[in-house]
Chain A
């Protein structure tokens, strides 16, 4: 089945540790996105990429890093510099052409810092 797979679904980390969240899509989409959601809040854009080997900061990029070495993969690293990393992280992808901009989401990863 085509879709977006995020892993792990739940993750616990100690303060000061980096953690990497995986996002893989088999929809052949060019664009991929990472969003953060805090309890009771909306979605905020962390990073996005419209093509392999290129990505741009979103509204809350500080303390996060990404890479886009393959079209189907867009991992997010939450670094120790992120002051409040406990949140729900959502990965999404969309086609750049054709039915441009229809956004599809993975099931999300819940990160808890202990």
Chain B
């Protein structure tokens, strides 16, 4: 299979701060997605980003496929950004592999 590693595992921020979450993967992948799991457990699609850079409001993501990593940037964090962020990769057009997640706590 493929290894997907996320860092840091835990992150505590003050409201208004910026942060960068990282996802490393051990082999070439077909695509990569970032998800936010809210406190109720629902997984929300943030970005579908096999390569390049995308932005959506205060969030942006960059995937450098040749170097096998992706970054998720959160600017001006808000308490509603709290939760767990997962990256997932599609490998061999077959199965999705998830990282273990970054748990973010934004304090007011």
Interface size class of A (residues with CB under 8 A): 20 to 34
Whether A42 pairs with B30 at a CB distance below 8 angstroms is no
Whether A100 pairs with B90 at a CB distance below 8 angstroms is yes
**Which of B41, B88, B100 has the most chain A CB atoms closer than 10 A to its own CB?**
B41
Query: Helix, strand, loop or mixed for chain B's interface?
Result: strand
Could you give 12 example pairs across A and B, Cβ below 8 Å? A33-B96, A42-B98, A42-B99, A48-B95, A88-B41, A90-B41, A90-B43, A101-B96, A102-B45, A105-B35, A107-B41, A108-B41
Q: Which residues of A contact B30 (CB under 8 A)?
A: 100-101
- Nearest Cβ on chain A to B27's Cβ, whole angstroms: 15
Q: Which residues of B contact A94 (CB under 8 A)?
A: 96
B24 contacts the other chain (CB 8 A)? no
